[in-house]
A and B are shown apart, each in its own frame.
Chain A
Amino acid sequence: MEPKSAFSTQRRQFPPKRFPRVFQEVDVPLKMARRPPVRLGHRSDRFASANPMWKETRPPAYEESEAPIPQPPKIMSEDPSELAERGNEIFERVVRPEVDAESDAQKFVVIDVETEDYEIDANARAAFDRLVERRPDARGRTWLRRVGSRHAYHFGGRLREPSTE
């Protein structure tokens, strides 16, 4: 449904019935022609803002709608579950064919989910540091896992059944 505007809420039959029939067939946006441009300071603006319901639904003035919407800084702004999904998908597609899943099972993999670049090392910090040195902008969009498990660490002992990948 089209959002209400100051004008659509007051829709009248146009042209009025008393007008001859020929007026109805003229292919001109009469509605538009009759509508004064909405701009701040115009009397229609004052009229609209006097009615709280219209004020809410009225489209913003041109100056407002063109203003850029401020974005939060993009540091760790990725949703963790989305990072996990993308990181693990890249691992299966890009990394797994390149590694020996048996002998490297305990090694760590750090994946930049944007460029699909990655580093593998037995030391998680070493892998991360190498990746960030090569791609400083990867910070904030990396995913860490092990070659043999999507979980890098466990608390309170390893699970008896390895989780299904």
Chain B
Amino acid sequence: MMTGFFTSDGEPALSVHVAGPAGNLDVDAVIDTGFNGELTLPHEQIDTLDLPEATITEVTLADGRVRDVPLYEAKALLSGVTREVFVAEAPTMPLIGTGLLRGFSLHIEFQAEGTIQVEPLNSSS
């Protein structure tokens, strides 16, 4: 089990450990249930980790626009579980999508001093 925190904007966030060929980083990432990918990082952090570019895909944004986005290979460690993931490049604060949360339970208390808890499900798929 791991605990998260709220950002100053009141968004639930988790610390994810991301590893690439050039090293690894602890990234504070906002939990974004409107994003169905795994993880986004800004360009500088992708550069720092020297993540290899894997493939390209189209994504839709909230306003309906469509963008071509490169996807990078990385390893992400969340609540004791390491996975091979695709990292999408986005200029925002790092985001954790529903893809990375698959197989975990997430408990959020939306209140002042509220707790955020993530733990792997037993029958993770």
Q: Give me the interface of A with B, judged by CB distance under 8 Å.
A: 75-76, 78, 80-81, 83-84, 110, 124-125, 128-129, 132, 139-140, 142-145, 150-159, 163
Find out whether the CB atom of B56 lies under 8 angstroms from the CB atom of A154.
Answer: no
A139 contacts which of B32, B54, B57, B90 (Cβ < 8 Å)? B54
Find out whether the CB atom of A84 lies under 8 angstroms from the CB atom of B61.
Answer: no
List 9 A-B pairs, Cβ < 8 Å: A78-B56, A84-B68, A125-B85, A132-B54, A144-B71, A153-B69, A153-B97, A154-B35, A155-B95
In the complex where A144-B71, A155-B61, A159-B64 touch, is A128 in contact with B54 (Cβ < 8 A)? yes
Q: Give me the interface of B with A, judged by CB distance under 8 Å.
A: 32, 34-37, 53-64, 66, 68-71, 73, 83-86, 88, 90, 95, 97, 99
Find out whether the CB atom of A81 lies under 8 angstroms from the CB atom of B57.
Answer: no
5 additional A-B pairs beyond A151-B59, A156-B63, beta carbons within 8 Å, are A80-B68, A125-B73, A143-B57, A153-B35, A156-B35
Find out whether the CB atom of A110 lies under 8 angstroms from the CB atom of B66.
Answer: no
Q: Which residues of A contact B57 (CB under 8 A)?
A: 143-145, 151-153
Find out whether the CB atom of A159 lies under 8 angstroms from the CB atom of B60.
Answer: yes
Find out whether the CB atom of A150 lies under 8 angstroms from the CB atom of B58.
Answer: yes
A80 CA / B59 CA spacing, docked (Å): 12
Find out whether the CB atom of A155 lies under 8 angstroms from the CB atom of B60.
Answer: yes
B67 to chain A minimum Cβ distance, whole angstroms, is: 9
A156 CA / B98 CA spacing, docked (Å): 12
Q: Which residues of B contact A142 (CB under 8 A)?
A: 54-56
B42 to chain A minimum Cβ distance, whole angstroms, is: 14
A145 contacts which of B58, B63, B70, B73 (Cβ < 8 Å)? B58
A115 CA / B99 CA spacing, docked (Å): 29
Q: Which residues of B contact A125 (CB under 8 A)?
A: 73, 83-86
A78 CA / B56 CA spacing, docked (Å): 10
Q: Which residues of B contact A144 (CB under 8 A)?
A: 55-57, 71
A94 CA / B63 CA spacing, docked (Å): 32
A154 contacts which of B55, B60, B95 (Cβ < 8 Å)? B60
Find out whether the CB atom of B56 lies under 8 angstroms from the CB atom of A157.
Answer: no
In the complex where A80-B56, A83-B56, A125-B73 touch, is A154 in contact with B36 (Cβ < 8 A)? yes
Q: Which residues of B contact A156 (CB under 8 A)?
A: 34-35, 61-63
